[in-house]
Amino acid sequence: MMHTIHRPYPPLPPLPPTTGPSDIQLLVDYQRGHREDMAAIRAEQVLTGVYTPQRPISCWEQTVPGYREEVTVRLYRPQAEADATPAVLYMHGGAWCKGSIDTTHEYCLALADLSGALVVSVAYHLAPEFPYPHGIEDCYQVLCWMWKQAEVLGIDREDITLSGDSAGGNFSAGLSLMVRDRGEVSVKNQILLYPGLSMRAEDGVGGRDPDAMLSMQIVVDWYLGGAASQQPYITPLAAADLSGLPRTLLAVAALDGMRFCQRTYAQAIERAGNMITVVEFENTPHGFICDHRCLQQLEDMASLAADFIREKL
């Protein structure tokens, strides 16, 4: 069953001329030799100090087992509401090549505050240095760690949500399939924010803009590292079997070039017998939880996600 919610917003002011049409442009500039420092690119566009929690939130970092080496996670624990709280494994966006736990700090803070869940944000290894499957396998190992350490963390292992934005949304959708297939752990929900769900041009990657499609192909190639794009953990929309997925909340930004395959995915998982709620954010671009022009959308998204986790949506 699919339920669709429309959230209206006024048109946004334009970005300054020196800002690319998306953070993909930064990576294109790097590929073309116009930018030399990938570390500096990865540090850009961090939104800070825009959300004030309504209750105390403890926030700390620690290292946990990853795919081939340890990864850093940032944990957000709200003032406890119960002995065993829900938990969210959050995966940041950034085209698999950039972004960080700092990029989505404000959103994770809001999500923990509004949901009462423990949020675990993972600093997975990035391409091109660490191509597929490194990043998604990092996230799977963190999920297994959360499952095994549920009592220590004070969480309910039967109430874990996978969530992420953009590339992190791709990981979330891929992980839902991986969790189903491997049968080692379980998850209750997936919350996908403007996710990348296909590497195939026929699914509308990059929208209808040839330049956007070319730009996207650059970072896709970095992430794949020679792997076949049709694999379901890379392109969830290509999965032959989409049954048995967790409850899904899908946020679609109306100005996002990837909205076409997001809507196709929603229809496909509904046909496979899954429950899905789609939220359409009007006049809103890809990457809105990291956009200083979209602070209302950031808080609204966190509120919707919190309601979904608490089964009020």
- Respond yes or no: is residue 286 known to be catalytic: yes
- Exposure pattern of 42-70 as b/e (b: 16+ CB <10 Å)? beebebeeebeeeeebeeeeeebebbeee
For residue 155, the SS3 value is strand
The sign one gets for the Cα dihedral 181, 155, 135, 292 is positive
Q: Which two tokens stand for residue 235?
A: 């392109």
Q: Which two tokens stand for residue 173?
A: 């959708």
CA–CA separation, 95 and 91 (whole Å): 12
> Is beta strand 247-253 parallel, antiparallel or unpaired with respect to 276-281?
parallel
| Active-site hit among 166, 172, 198, 215 | 166
* Residue 99 CB contacts under 8 Å (≥ 6 apart), including other chains: 23, 42, 92, 93, 126, 166, 167, 168
CA–CA separation, 291 and 99 (whole Å): 13
| Active-site hit among 92, 105, 134, 286 | 286
Q: Which letter does DSSP use for residue 103 in this model?
A: T
The sign one gets for the Cα dihedral 282, 287, 289, 293 is negative
Q: Which letter does DSSP use for residue 124 in this model?
A: P
| Active-site hit among 23, 256, 291, 300 | 256
Q: Evaluate whether 9 touches 283 at the Cβ level (below 8 Å).
A: yes
The sign one gets for the Cα dihedral 147, 152, 153, 158 is positive
The three-state (H, E, C) secondary structure of 63-93, written as one string: EECCCCCCEEEEEEEECCCCCCEEEEEEECC
Report, as residue numbers or ranges, the catalytic residues.
166, 256, 286
